[in-house]
Chain A
Amino acid sequence: MVFTAQNKHQKYLEQGVSVIELVLVTVIIAALALLVANLPSSVSSINRSRHSSIAKDIATRELEYLRKLSYDSLSNGTNNFTDPDLTSLPKSTASYTVNDCQEPACINGEKAKIVTVSVAWNESGDDKTVDLSTIVSQGGLAQ
């Protein structure tokens, strides 16, 4: 009698898988799969952050340089510039644009120019850019 009961008990334990176990396992496996799938995108995000910081440095260097030039030597237009760190950025370009300050910022004919420095690169198919804009006026900061 005891023998039969143990047999049945063991059979009960060994044979079936409950619904909860199935659901939990499915959820865990799905979560794992999602996480692992996200991993490459995280890595590329880390890469993007690194490039963005490098681009920020390049742009800051150029803007500081432009700001300390005398106001009269800033001529309107767009120019490219080079920088040794651009090689760390894939497919990079660097340029700055100078324009007279106009409405809505300047309405009194102020002697001021809007200067924008732009560093762009390509992050595995996506075009990314870091832009810094400022205004430089005659007798202003760092002049």
Chain B
Amino acid sequence: MKGFSLLEVIIVSAIGLVVGTFLISILVNSNGFFFKQGAVINEGVNINDTMDNLTSMIRQASAVATGYPEATPSFVTSSHVLVLKLASEGPTEIIPDTYDYVVFSTDPTNPNILRMQIFPDPQSSRKSTNQVLTTLLDNVQYKFYDKNGNQVTPVSASVVEVSLTVLAQTGQVSSQRTSKVSVTLRNM
């Protein structure tokens, strides 16, 4: 039978090496591409959903609370933590003078997790909730204004401005976006 000379073997393996490197570089590039686009997708989907949730709660709030529970707070409203008072719900109407508390805070152990917790009043029909809104949080900032645009203390605020930054990272590549919305409290 035919055989291959050493030279042929060397040439073939060299060609194989070159083609293989070429193919692997395509692979890596496409992965990088995939990672980048994947990150953009992640960041986009996360920030839309989180903002929708936040703005809905602020719209329904009767006031910004100093903290929850009001007497001895474990959560205190600040530029990074938001505690809202929502009127408690009887199933068809609100219950006057009774409030549920909604807390938006980051986890102490993991600052990339933005969590929403609802603490309803015993008379309310609203359900108690503990929900992770996003795991890609980079930064969140709350600012408190009155109707005329002046900055005020949180409890006197009738407008809350939320700046939410989400950072999606895959490998070395990342995608970041900041969304900022000013929402008026409809129940204030």
Direct contact of A and B (CB under 8 A): yes
Say yes or no: B180 contacts A53, CB within 8 Å: no
Using known A-B contacts A68-B147, A141-B186, A142-B186, determine if residue A57 contacts B40 with beta carbons closer than 8 Å: no
Total count of chain B residues near the partner, CB < 8 A? 19
Contact with B along A39-76 (1 / 0, CB 8 A): 00011001001100110010011001101100000000
| B28 part of interface (Cβ distance < 8 Å) | no
| B116 part of interface (Cβ distance < 8 Å) | no
Q: What is the chain A residue whose CB lies nearest that of B161?
A: A61
How distant is the Cα of A60 from the Cα of B58 in the complex, in angstroms? 14
How distant is the Cα of A71 from the Cα of B74 in the complex, in angstroms? 40
One of A42, A53, A61 near B48 (C-beta < 8 A): A53
One of A50, A67, A68 near B44 (C-beta < 8 A): A50
Within 8 A of A (CB), among B55-91: 55
Residues from chain B with a CB closer than 8 A to the CB of A54 are 177, 179
Chain A: interface secondary structure? Answer: helix
B1 to chain A minimum Cβ distance, whole angstroms, is 11
Say yes or no: B41 contacts A142, CB within 8 Å: no
One of A50, A60, A67 near B181 (C-beta < 8 A): A60
Residues from chain B with a CB closer than 8 A to the CB of A142 are 184-186
One of B48, B51, B181 near A64 (C-beta < 8 A): B181
A121 to chain B minimum Cβ distance, whole angstroms, is 16
How distant is the Cα of A42 from the Cα of B37 in the complex, in angstroms? 10
| B170 part of interface (Cβ distance < 8 Å) | no
Residues from chain A with a CB closer than 8 A to the CB of B41 are 46
| B182 part of interface (Cβ distance < 8 Å) | yes
B46 to chain A minimum Cβ distance, whole angstroms, is 11
A29 to chain B minimum Cβ distance, whole angstroms, is 16
Residues from chain A with a CB closer than 8 A to the CB of B177 are 50, 53-54
Using known A-B contacts A43-B37, A68-B147, determine if residue A57 contacts B44 with beta carbons closer than 8 Å: no
Say yes or no: A65 contacts B179, CB within 8 Å: no
Using known A-B contacts A49-B44, A50-B177, determine if residue A64 contacts B182 with beta carbons closer than 8 Å: yes
A62 to chain B minimum Cβ distance, whole angstroms, is 10
Within 8 A of A (CB), among B109-130: none
How distant is the Cα of A76 from the Cα of B182 in the complex, in angstroms? 24
Using known A-B contacts A43-B37, A60-B181, A64-B181, determine if residue A53 contacts B186 with beta carbons closer than 8 Å: no
| B47 part of interface (Cβ distance < 8 Å) | yes
Using known A-B contacts A46-B40, A68-B159, determine if residue A61 contacts B182 with beta carbons closer than 8 Å: yes
Q: What is the chain B residue whose CB lies nearest that of A88?
A: B177
Residues from chain B with a CB closer than 8 A to the CB of A141 are 186
How distant is the Cα of A106 from the Cα of B29 in the complex, in angstroms? 59
How distant is the Cα of A54 from the Cα of B176 in the complex, in angstroms? 12
Within 8 A of A (CB), among B29-45: 37, 40-41, 44
Given A53-B47, A53-B48, A57-B180, output 7 extra A-B contacts at Cβ < 8 Å.
A43-B37, A49-B44, A53-B44, A54-B179, A60-B55, A68-B147, A141-B186
7 inter-chain pairs at a CB distance below 8 angstroms, sorted by A residue, are A46-B41, A46-B44, A53-B44, A57-B180, A64-B184, A141-B186, A142-B184
Question: When A and B form their complex, which 4 residue pairs have the shortest distance between CB atoms, in order from nearest?
Answer: A142-B184, A68-B184, A141-B186, A57-B179
